[in-house]
């Protein structure tokens, strides 16, 4: 439950928010596999309520556990999981079982009907007996209110009920049979840890027909928002699985927005209040806080502030702490707006440009050179120790990962121009932020490391990117 089940030599998970299964299958083969990504998180796979102008959040209103959504049907999902596993990319499903749909959600994306006002979901089936009594979450200082009442009106399932547990366990085990490698547990904070423990305890091992080792358990990362100051703590959940470490998102945003100095990153990790590294799923932004839902507030960095976003993402991927997840967004102005569609309902496929980037309304941060090349950096450095920390006493820092890789950042409003210890062997390297190694050449800056391991590092304050990165696989 704590191991990611990544294939060895791969790292980095991407959340392909609202992508269709057929498009993801192709993306695994054409991009994620070849570029070294280890995993992907999908939007909820089970049938959800069809809501008015199709906001993205309708997918968090379950109608049944049939695998039928705007992303595709069960056959398409199963095919996607297999094709992704075949190229070494694991699938993690966003599972929503704290609740069912709220009032108003009467028809599902698979055609099932429900009557949330009487707590009737015949396609599961669930009846009013399977839910907690109606009350609203109003007080985060009261664990019983948070766990037994309704989150924004969503009908609150009682996970203490054996029928409810059976249905949830069947749903999760069905996904495991199809070859998924783990789960993001939506709204875990709103469920009792004891109930989750009982459910997780009944989960099947991963499907060995998909290349998983025998006895491997699903990787579980639970959505528990804990920025402090509330009654419920993430430590109630870290014994059961990993948690989504919202403090990482909050802190990294503040740092790269210049509200905190980069030199303080020297003790990045549990000293910042984060859960242990192997219990922390870390991210710069997620599908909620990039648009003001959930938690994190105004300091969260998104694709809308690209220079700082790429710096924060590069830091997250270069640093050994946690299991990083990259957000892959669709462009939005309105915070309720759903993904690009062809006709207001059917999701449109992303289009791809010659420089790997996307169009058609898709942002595809995972296809930004500065980000996918840092996934390759993370793969190249493996578990090498963080060494050779340097800072200028303010917002210029650098460090190496053993003798495998080196990064430097400049978030000051003046140039970085220093001779720094890279930890790397002598030679000329391609900076994978400004370019890519191509054959024996480099499309970006080159950095020359001397026999003493030092290199002259220059990052102008007005450059497009405030970071340079080199690693053993980018040696020319
Ligand atoms: C939609 C409509 C609602 C309508 C409802 C039912 O927007 O108006 O009432 O349908 O018809 C998503 C959307 C919701 C959407 C829902 C269902 O975000 O807008 O409602 O689908 O369609 C809490 C939960 C957390 C949750 C987050 C959004 O704890 O689990 O709210 N995230 C997940 C998903 C999310 C999804 C759901 C759950 C539901 O990722 O996409 O909702 O399946 C505090 C608490 C947090 C709490 C926030 C927000 O946070 O700590 O636990 O998150 O409040 O209520 C500072 C504090 C921080 C605080 C924050 C905000 O940052 O430090 O602790 O301020 O006050």
Q: What is the pLDDT of residues 272-290, one digit of tens each?
A: 999 999 999 999 999 999 9
Catalytic residue among 156, 223, 250, 365: 223
Cα 224 to ligand 1 centre (Å): 11
**Ligand 1: which residue has its CA nearest to atom 27?**
294
Which of 292-306, 375-389, 428-442 is predicted least confidently?
292-306
Residues 6+ apart with CB under 8 A from 158: 130, 131, 132, 164
User: pLDDT tier at 348 (50, 70, 90 boundaries)?
Assistant: very high
User: pLDDT tier at 317 (50, 70, 90 boundaries)?
Assistant: very high
Active site residue 186: yes
User: pLDDT tier at 469 (50, 70, 90 boundaries)?
Assistant: very high
Distance of alpha carbon 253 from alpha carbon 255, whole angstroms: 5
Q: Which numbered atom of ligand 1 lies nearest the CA of 98?
A: 43
In this predicted structure, what is the pLDDT of residue 1? 86
DSSP state of 435: -
Q: Which numbered atom of ligand 1 lies nearest the CA of 296?
A: 62
Distance of alpha carbon 119 from alpha carbon 130, whole angstroms: 8
Q: What percentage of the chain carries pLDDT values higher than 70?
A: 100
User: For the purposes of burial, counting CB atoms within 10 Å of the CB of 294, is it exposed (0-12), middle (13-18) or buried (19 or more)?
Assistant: middle
Can you tell me which residue has the tokens 């690209």? Answer: 306
**Ligand 1: which residue has its CA nearest to atom 18?**
293
**Ligand 1: which residue has its CA nearest to atom 51?**
225
- Helix (H) / strand (E) element for 15: namely strand 13-16
- Give the residue-averaged pLDDT of 227-249: 97
pLDDT exceeds 80 at position 170: yes
* Reported ipTM: 0.97
Residue 389 CB less than 6 A away from ligand 1: no
For residues 183 and 92, the answer to whether their CB atoms sit within 8 Å is: yes
Q: Phi-psi bin for 70: left (phi > 0), alpha (psi -120 to 50), beta?
A: alpha
Which residues, in sequence order, are bridge partners of residue 324? 282
- Cis peptide before 125, with omega less than 30 degrees from 0? yes
What separation in angstroms does the CA of 65 have from each of 107, 121, 140, 294?
A: 14, 10, 29, 24
Active site residue 223: yes
For residues 343 and 349, the answer to whether their CB atoms sit within 8 Å is: no
Residue 230 CB less than 6 A away from ligand 1: yes
Please, what is the average pLDDT of the chain? 98
pLDDT exceeds 80 at position 296: no
pLDDT exceeds 90 at position 363: yes
Residue 189 CB less than 6 A away from ligand 1: yes
Distance of alpha carbon 280 from alpha carbon 273, whole angstroms: 11
Residue 55 CB less than 6 A away from ligand 1: no
Residue 140 CB less than 6 A away from ligand 1: yes
To the nearest 10°, report the CA torsion of 104, 109, 112, 117: -10
- Give the residue-averaged pLDDT of 390-408: 98
The pTM of the full predicted model, rounded to 2 decimals, is: 0.98
DSSP state of 336: T
In this predicted structure, what is the pLDDT of residue 297? 78
Q: Are strands 396-401 and 219-222 parallel, antiparallel or unpaired?
A: unpaired
- Helix (H) / strand (E) element for 369: namely helix 369-381
For residues 181 and 39, the answer to whether their CB atoms sit within 8 Å is: yes
What separation in angstroms does the CA of 281 have from each of 92, 183, 374?
A: 12, 12, 17
């Amino acid at each position: 439950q704590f191991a990611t089940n990544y294939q060895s030599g791969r790292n980095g998970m991407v959340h392909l928010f609202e992508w269709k299964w057929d498009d993801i299958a192709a993306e695994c083969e054409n991009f994620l596999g070849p570029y070294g990504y280890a995993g992907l998180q999908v939007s909820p796979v089970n049938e959800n309520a069809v809501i008015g102008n199709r906001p993205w959040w309708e997918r968090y209103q379950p109608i049944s556990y049939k695998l039928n959504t705007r992303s595709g049907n069960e056959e398409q999902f199963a095919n996607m999981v297999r094709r992704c596993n075949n190229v070494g990319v694991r699938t993690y499903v966003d599972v929503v079982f704290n609740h069912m749909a709220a009032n108003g959600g009467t028809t599902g994306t698979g055609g099932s009907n429900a009557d949330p006002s009487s707590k009737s979901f015949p396609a599961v089936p669930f009846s009013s007996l399977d839910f907690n009594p109606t009350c609203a979450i109003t007080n985060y200082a009261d664990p019983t209110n948070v766990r037994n009442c309704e989150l924004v009106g969503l009908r609150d399932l009682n996970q203490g009920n054996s029928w409810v547990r059976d249905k949830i366990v069947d749903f999760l085990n069905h996904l495991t049979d199809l070859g998924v490698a783990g789960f993001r547990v939506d709204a875990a904070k709103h469920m009792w840890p004891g109930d989750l423990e009982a459910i997780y305890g009944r989960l099947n091992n991963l499907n060995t027909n998909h290349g998983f080792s025998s006895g491997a358990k699903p990787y579980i990362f639970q959505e528990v928002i804990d920025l402090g100051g509330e009654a419920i703590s993430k430590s109630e959940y870290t014994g059961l699985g990993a948690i989504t470490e919202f403090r990482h998102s909050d802190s990294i945003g503040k740092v790269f927005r210049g509200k905190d100095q980069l030199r303080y990153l020297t003790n990045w990790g549990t000293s910042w209040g984060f859960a242990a590294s192997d219990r922390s799923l870390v991210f710069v932004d997620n599908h909620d806080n990039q648009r003001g839902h959930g938690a994190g507030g105004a300091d969260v960095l998104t694709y809308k502030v690209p220079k700082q976003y790429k710096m924060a993402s590069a830091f997250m991927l270069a640093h050994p702490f946690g299991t990083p997840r990259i957000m892959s967004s669709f462009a939005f102005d309105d915070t309720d707006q759903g993904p690009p569609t062809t006709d207001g309902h059917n999701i449109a496929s992303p289009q791809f440009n010659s420089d790997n980037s996307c169009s058609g309304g898709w942002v595809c941060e995972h296809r930004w050179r500065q980000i996918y090349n840092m996934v390759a950096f993370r793969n190249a450095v493996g578990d090498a120790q963080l060494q050779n920390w340097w800072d200028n006493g303010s917002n210029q820092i650098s460090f190496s990962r053993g003798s495998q890789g080196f990064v430097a950042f400049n978030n000051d409003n003046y140039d970085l121009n220093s001779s720094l210890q890279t930890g790397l062997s002598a030679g000329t390297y391609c900076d994978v932020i400004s370019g890519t190694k191509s054959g024996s050449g480099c499309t970006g800056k080159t950095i020359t490391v001397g026999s003493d391991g030092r290199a002259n590092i220059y990052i102008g304050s007005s450059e497009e990117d405030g970071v340079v990165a080199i690693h053993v696989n980018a040696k020319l």
